[in-house]
Chain A
Amino acid sequence: MNELNAWLKIATRTLSRDAAARSRAEIQEHYDAAREAALASGARPEDAARRALLSLGDAYDTNCQYRHVMLTSQEARTLREGNWEARFVCRSSWLKWVFASLPIYTPARSRIFRTARWALMLGAIILAGTPGWLLFGGLWPIIWVEFIRASLRRKLPVALWPRQLYL
């Protein structure tokens, strides 16, 4: 059981709490079924446990695949707390109205909106003659959040996208 726990710890590393709990439960379920099948085929208990664990494969590979499809803790936090544009916009009722009425809340339109926003932002920075190191340093947090949001857009079905993912 300790070996399974060590395997699960690696396989669910950096996943969000919910994703890790679900993954742990299903792998545990799978391990139990595989161990019972091995026991039923006449294997000794320690051999059955070893075979069940071996059948799961490499924990690092599994972790890599889980991170491609399930939310990581960083992504879950961004989803929960990273809605800084909405908070800024909601301070002013006028801005709130403008953003709510923008026709950008479909995946295709939001892609056009984001492209235009980045083009405008980069254009303004380049025209202002900002030095490269300052440009990179200033844009890094925005690029990082955008990177996480891109990952969220890939992982979540469109029906579950919060408004911040369209921006």
Chain B
Amino acid sequence: MNFKGTLPTLILEALANESSHGYRIAQSIKERSQGVLDFKEGTLYPALHKLERDGLVESYEEAESGRTRRYYRITKIGRKTLATDRAEWRQLSRAVTTILGEA
């Protein structure tokens, strides 16, 4: 399913409860959407860089199983943005459901 434009919000949601690395973020989004949101994982990193540049997430390196991985965590600004995005999405979703429900 095409969900262009919503990937940054989904990444923030995946990071809302715990820091994570790219692979786990991708799997979390796919699992939580029960496979409906399937995206090419190479595109996850440019989106993460953009979020980092905008100050919504920050990254750090950590060793895991003998290998260094880059982890991402959500910032305060990121949490505020996520809250706004959630509210906007609910409003939009309600409006579209109302219209489509009438058809």
Contacts and interface: CB of A to CB of B under 8 A. Distances in A.
Interface of A: 11, 23, 25-27, 29-30, 32-34, 37, 55-59, 61-62, 65-66, 68-70, 155-157
B23 A34 contact: yes
Given A30-B22, A157-B55, A55 B69 contact: no
B46 interface: yes
B41 to A, nearest CB: 5
Shortest 3 CB-CB distances between A and B: which pairs? A57-B40, A65-B46, A33-B23
Given A30-B44, A55-B41, 15 more contacts: A33-B21, A34-B23, A34-B41, A37-B27, A57-B41, A57-B42, A58-B40, A59-B42, A61-B40, A61-B42, A61-B43, A62-B40, A62-B46, A68-B50, A70-B49
Interface of B: 21-23, 26-27, 39-47, 49-50, 53-55, 67, 69-70
Summarize A's interface: helix, strand, loop or mixed: helix
A4 to B, nearest CB: 11
Contacts, number: 67
Nearest to A65: B46
Instruction: Describe B's contact surface by its main secondary structure.
Output: helix
A86 to B, nearest CB: 24
Nearest to A52: B41
Given A11-B42, A57-B41, A65-B43, A29 B70 contact: yes
A30 B44 CA distance: 10
B49 A57 contact: no
Contacts of B44: 30
24 contacts: A23-B45, A25-B70, A26-B45, A26-B70, A29-B70, A30-B22, A34-B23, A34-B41, A37-B27, A56-B40, A56-B42, A57-B40, A57-B41, A59-B42, A61-B40, A61-B43, A62-B40, A65-B47, A66-B49, A69-B46, A70-B49, A155-B53, A156-B53, A157-B55
